[in-house]
């Protein structure tokens, strides 16, 4: 059950095993948050594991498939046994893709559910602590804080009664110990009395550790939590109630301030007070995010807070207003971050963040909350705000390749836009959903989504949106093997953008058209289309887009028999990709260059390009492609 101490036992076991040198290769740990509203997917977890293995930033492979390949290859190459702890899993789908694929390493999984359908695993069912261990836990916690605290030895009967009231549940015992540390001048018996007077204490304890509420979560903690809650000053109690309604599993201080309608310093002070009472946990931000502290409620504490709010009509409305505030906050900040992701040199510099990296760091840190908040689009009260927030996340989720999140956000946004009755927002939502579906490999669904977006834009007369839907539909059609239909779609997008005078979007349409024409075998037309795209990208200052066009122009030129011109195009693309430290795409440009040199009987040049490609793929974390490039270099004569 939740709060039984699964994680603590797993971590302690790992420490002891490592002390005995059972795992000289070290340990890896991932919290899958399986019972939160936004559980970690295997695709998200593998990113954390790769980060722990030293693969991050530009070294990270671009696609989930290559990320898994890189992860398993790294484990397979490790000469010494490692221990992998996958904590708090609710579904085998969260951890099955993360298994190492080699019997050298060991895996320890914690979960509230027993996956009886799995074979080849050993199950260890955890019960509550024995009474003596429960008493020892509180005794040690008090002694560690103050070695003169002799209350356990002075009040052994009260201590036993307290552990019984806590259901011998480690989390409840830890909270009780924290309360005793705070009230160090009062006896254990006083806390026992308060718990007994907590209203439904006996009913909860009668059910032991098996009692559950409407959410299916244990109620054994309720007496301690109710006592802790009632002793809170009003401002801290209010913050705990509202924090239980926050989206996601961890919330930044600024978002908590918006939720509670406080300034950031006041919110931080109250959060620190709740952390001292063991009712909230401060979590340091991951490297690469905005560097602040985030705050996490244990799931049982969150359920308790939700239940408290639900019991009071006034607090219910207060909570709804708070959710509206945090949605507005998320939209305002996500919109500013999105401006940085779309910013081009020469245009007005966006505000709020100090640059693109800072904007990405904030989005990374708040991602779980942002995605969960979009889920509120299913409620009419929040549909409009949640849909607007979803629109701001499209570019970010695509850039970071969080396609699972993109699908979740897209579907929530579609449903919310329908409920809100805004067909323009619904069209945008369908288009973003189509991009996520296509990148996730669900091409047929992507074609349908972009088609719906196009039809809605046509119905409301949104020509700009229609053009974007046509262009995205063209990409999906091409990946579905419908090349001629893709050519038509990109052509429609190009014509619309030309009429609107949007040169950046026109460049993207020309680029897509060039790729489709090339796949249709119409090489000279493809060359012309890519050249038009390149010129437009140069005119608007989009160097990354220009690099992509130089590469695809090189492909078309080579296919048209113009190899030397292709080499020049690849060279320009490589220059820009290196500038952006986009090593994955740089690797593919070098791959293309190697093929040109090999075809022109320049083996030394081809070998050099293969070796450079291997280095680039290695920096991108794509070990299979790197190995293949080295193999080709070795066989190049």
Report yes or no: 257 and 270 within 8 Å, Cβ to Cβ.
no
The confidence score (pLDDT) of residue 6 equals: 85
The confidence score (pLDDT) of residue 286 equals: 52
Report yes or no: 548 and 529 within 8 Å, Cβ to Cβ.
no
The confidence score (pLDDT) of residue 2 equals: 63
The confidence score (pLDDT) of residue 391 equals: 87
Q: How many CB atoms lie within 10 A of CB 130?
A: 11
Q: Which two tokens stand for residue 627?
A: 């190995």
Report yes or no: 587 and 616 within 8 Å, Cβ to Cβ.
yes
Give me the mean pLDDT over the 569-595 stretch.
90
Residues 6+ apart with CB under 8 A from 72: 100, 101, 102
Residue 549 has pLDDT above 80, yes or no: yes
Q: What is the pLDDT of residues 608-637, one digit of tens each?
A: 999 999 999 898 778 888 999 999 998 876
Q: pLDDT band for position 131 (50/70/90)?
A: very high
Q: What is the pLDDT of residues 256-287, one digit of tens each?
A: 999 999 999 999 999 988 887 767 888 876 54
Q: What is the C-alpha to C-alpha distance for residues 420 and 385, in angstroms, rounded to an integer?
A: 10
pTM: 0.61
Report yes or no: 261 and 243 within 8 Å, Cβ to Cβ.
no
| Average per-residue pLDDT for the chain | 86
What's 40's DSSP letter? Answer: P
Residue 419 has pLDDT above 50, yes or no: yes
SS3 79: coil
The confidence score (pLDDT) of residue 300 equals: 64
Least confident of 173-187, 259-273, 282-296, 590-604: 282-296
Q: pLDDT band for position 564 (50/70/90)?
A: confident
Report yes or no: 299 and 282 within 8 Å, Cβ to Cβ.
no
Residue % of the chain over a pLDDT of 90? 47
Q: What is the C-alpha to C-alpha distance for residues 192 and 189, in angstroms, rounded to an integer?
A: 5
Residue 517 has pLDDT above 90, yes or no: yes
Q: What is the pLDDT of residues 70-105, one digit of tens each?
A: 999 999 998 899 999 999 888 888 998 999 888 889
Q: Which helix (H) or strand (E) holds 111?
A: strand 106-111
Q: What is the pLDDT of residues 25-78, one digit of tens each?
A: 999 999 898 867 678 899 999 998 999 998 887 888 888 889 999 999 999 998
Q: Are strands 106-111 and 83-89 parallel, antiparallel or unpaired?
A: parallel
Q: pLDDT band for position 417 (50/70/90)?
A: confident
The confidence score (pLDDT) of residue 234 equals: 94
């Amino acid at each position: 059950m939740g709060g039984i101490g699964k994680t603590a036992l797993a971590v302690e076991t790992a420490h002891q095993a490592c002390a005995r040198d059972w795992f000289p290769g070290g340990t890896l740990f991932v919290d899958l948050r399986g019972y939160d509203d936004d559980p970690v997917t295997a695709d998200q977890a593998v990113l954390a594991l790769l980060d722990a293995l030293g693969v991050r930033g530009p070294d990270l492979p671009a696609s989930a498939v290559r990320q898994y390949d890189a992860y398993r290859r790294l484990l397979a190459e490790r000469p010494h046994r490692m221990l992998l702890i996958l904590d708090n899993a609710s579904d085998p789908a969260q951890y099955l893709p993360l298994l190492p694929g080699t019997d050298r390493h060991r895996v320890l999984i914690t979960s509230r559910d027993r996956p009886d359908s799995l074979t080849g695993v050993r199950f260890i069912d955890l019960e509550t602590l024995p009474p003596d261990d429960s008493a020892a836990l509180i005794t040690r916690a008090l002694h560690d804080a103050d070695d003169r605290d002799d209350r356990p030895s002075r009040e052994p009967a009260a201590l036993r009664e307290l552990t019984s009231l806590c259901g011998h549940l480690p989390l409840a015992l830890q909270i009780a110990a924290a309360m005793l540390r705070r009230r160090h001048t009062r006896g254990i018996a006083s806390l026992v009395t308060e718990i007994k007077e907590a209203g439904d204490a006996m009913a909860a304890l009668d059910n032991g550790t098996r009692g559950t509420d409407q959410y299916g979560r244990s109620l054994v903690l309720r007496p301690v939590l109710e006592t802790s809650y009632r002793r809170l000053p009003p401002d801290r109690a209010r913050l705990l109630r509202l924090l239980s309604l926050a989206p996601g599993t961890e919330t930044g201080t600024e978002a908590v301030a918006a939720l509670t309608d406080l300034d950031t310093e006041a919110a931080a002070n109250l959060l620190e007070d709740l952390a001292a009472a063991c009712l909230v946990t401060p979590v340091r931000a991951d490297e690469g995010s905005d560097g602040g502290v985030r705050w996490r409620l244990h799931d049982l504490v969150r359920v308790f807070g939700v239940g408290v709010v639900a019991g009071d009509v006034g607090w219910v409305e207060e909570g709804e207003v708070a959710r509206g505030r945090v949605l507005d906050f998320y939209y305002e900040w996500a919109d500013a971050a999105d401006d940085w992701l779309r910013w081009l040199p020469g245009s007005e510099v966006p505000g709020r963040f100090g640059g693109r990296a800072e904007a990405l760091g904030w989005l990374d840190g708040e991602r779980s909350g942002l995605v969960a908040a979009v889920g509120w689009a299913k409620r009419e009260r929040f549909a409009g705000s949640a849909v607007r927030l979803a629109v701001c996340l499209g570019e970010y989720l695509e850039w970071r390749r969080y396609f699972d999140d993109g699908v979740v956000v897209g579907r929530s946004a579609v449903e919310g836009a329908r409920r809100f009755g805004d067909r323009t927002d619904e069209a945008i939502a369908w288009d973003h959903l189509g991009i996520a579906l296509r990148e996730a490999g669900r091409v047929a669904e992507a074609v349908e989504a972009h088609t719906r977006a196009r039809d809605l834009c046509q119905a409301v007369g949104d020509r700009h949106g229609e053009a974007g839907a046509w262009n995205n539909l063209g990409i999906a059609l091409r990946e579905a093997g419908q090349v001629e239909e893709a050519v038509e779609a990109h052509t429609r997008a190009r014509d619309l953008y030309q009429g609107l005078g949007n040169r950046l979007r026109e460049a993207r349409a020309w680029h897509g058209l060039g790729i489709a024409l090339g796949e249709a075998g119409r090489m000279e037309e493809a060359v012309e289309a890519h050249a038009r795209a390149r010129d437009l990208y140069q005119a608007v200052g989009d160097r990354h887009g220009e690099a992509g066009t130089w590469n695809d122009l090189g492909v078309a030129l080579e296919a048209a028999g113009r190899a030397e011109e292709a080499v020049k195009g690849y060279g320009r693309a490589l220059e820009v990709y290196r500038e952006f430290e986009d090593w994955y795409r740089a690797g593919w440009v070098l791959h293309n260059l190697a093929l040109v040199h090999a075809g022109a009987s320049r083996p030394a040049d081809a070998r050099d390009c293969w070796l450079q490609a291997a280095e680039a793929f290695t920096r991108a974390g794509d070990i299979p492609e790197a190995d293949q490039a080295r193999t080709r270099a070795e066989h190049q004569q």
